[in-house]
Structure 1
Amino acid sequence: MAEQKKPAAQTKGGGSAKPTMETKSMASLSGLTDQQAKEFHEQFKVTYTAFVGLAALAHLFVIAAHPWW
């Protein structure tokens, strides 16, 4: 008779037994909480957008001053 494999330890919801990174005991790589990371990301988006806008403006000024055509 074929031997049946016993299922691995299942999680509460009956899903797979793979370990996840979403456990409460594990800290994030940055050490920030989820809320702090979201606040940082919002500020980062604003700052990055401003940087890209200023860089684009600087490039347009250079093109206007020294067109290559």
Structure 2
Amino acid sequence: MDKTLFEILACPLCKGEVHLEKERQELVCRPCGLAYPIRDGIPVMLEGEARTLTVDERLDEAS
């Protein structure tokens, strides 16, 4: 994914910072607990397409 694009992306719900999870090809918003998919190099920043982070994922991020 283009670094410039990544730097300007924000969570569509809270407008907060998202973090790239390269392994899962997702952009994660920690405050909202959502992970937005990246498909074919394009981030899909739609709430309906996001998955909810599991409890374990949320705990891992808090550490």
Q: What TM-score do the two structures reach when normalised by structure 2?
A: 0.22
Higher RCO (CA-CA < 8 Å; seq separation 6+): 2
Indicate the structure with greater strand content. Answer: 2
TM-score, scaled relative to structure 1: 0.21
